[in-house]
A and B are shown apart, each in its own frame.
Chain A
Amino acid sequence: MTWPQALQEAIEQFADVFDPMERYEMLFEWASDVNELPIEEWNDANRIHGCQSQAHVECHMEDGMFYMRGGADAQIVQGLMAITCLAVNGRPPEEVVAIEPTFVDEMGLKASLTPSRSNGFLNMFKRVQDEAGLLTEGA
């Protein structure tokens, strides 16, 4: 799969860093790059279950393309959302449905995630894809 340039750059940047602390710092910094879902819009319907922190995702269409907004109380989670935004935003929803999140492996993210956190990340990604699927059906 061809990733958007911004995500490709993020993949290469992250993969070049081996120190766990530096990796977390990068995710922490990327948190501010997310298409933010403000806290006022957090609700049970857009909550991602399976995360230890509170994580919320909202998905919609703009000019026929898929977009997600995300928000979390943990900055590292929000950083992961920012990466996900790079992978999915601006794509046709049917492409989002078909994405295999291999960028997680390419970045070496799994090594930085405990099972609970990576399950939370995969839960979020699946949720985004499910939302894309619904938007595809409704199109």
Chain B
Amino acid sequence: MKFFNRLLNNCEETSFNIVKSEETPLSFSAWLKMKIHILFCKCCQNFKKQTKVIDEALYKHFDSEMNSDAEHASQELKDKIKESFKKG
């Protein structure tokens, strides 16, 4: 009984393995436990979907050139850089 309880209730381990499995293969037993748990657990099904979406969004977010126009380099910085060329 304890074994099944643990299998079906351990969302912490399952969600950890969901994140891990996105990048690397799990051991067979860890994989099987994850799969069985997900079958019965709506929360972890959701976590799996959402973490995948977040993953894609993050790649896009960090790599893209869509930057805010809110930030500007100060003239002082620009001058400093040009000055460093002369020394460099």
- Bound together: no
